[in-house]
Amino acid sequence: MERTAFTMKLKPGSEAEYKKRHDEIWPNLAQLLKSSGIIEYSIFLDEKTLMLFAVQKKADDNTADELAEQEIMRRWWDYMADIMEVNSDNSPVCIPLKEVFHME
């Protein structure tokens, strides 16, 4: 199993809307994430800095790197672009984090 973590950032005043949209995540998007091998996915918010901290657990044979090619993923990015920092293709600006400690 692979674990990854990354940060993203919300635009000011978007905290409630971000949570609402994720509470109502599209069922076909959730299914796509699962079928790509994402076993667990959590996102935490630092309310002071508006930084989002995401953690994913992925199957060894995951295809998560191919998600950007999927139309539903691109539509989700377009849907979220007004409330978070994004790249020119509306994908979220994600900064990968290096794991320095893990305990089970």
pLDDT tier for residue 37 given thresholds of 50, 70 and 90: very high
| Share above pLDDT 90 across residues of the chain, in percent, rounded to a whole number | 99
Q: Using CA of residue 67, residue 72, residue 78, residue 80, what is the dihedral sign?
A: negative
Rounded Cα gap, residues 66 and 99, in angstroms = 23
* Average pLDDT score over residue span 20-37: 98
102 catalytically annotated: no
Catalytic residue among 3, 19, 22, 34: 22
With H, G, I as helix, E, B as strand and everything else as coil, classify residue 101: coil
Q: Which domains does the chain have, with CATH numbers?
A: 2-96 (3.30.70.100)
pLDDT, tens digit, 9 for 90 and up, residues 54-88: 999 999 999 999 999 999 999 999 999 999 999 99
Cβ-based burial of 66 (10 A; exposed 0-12, middle 13-18, buried ≥19) = exposed
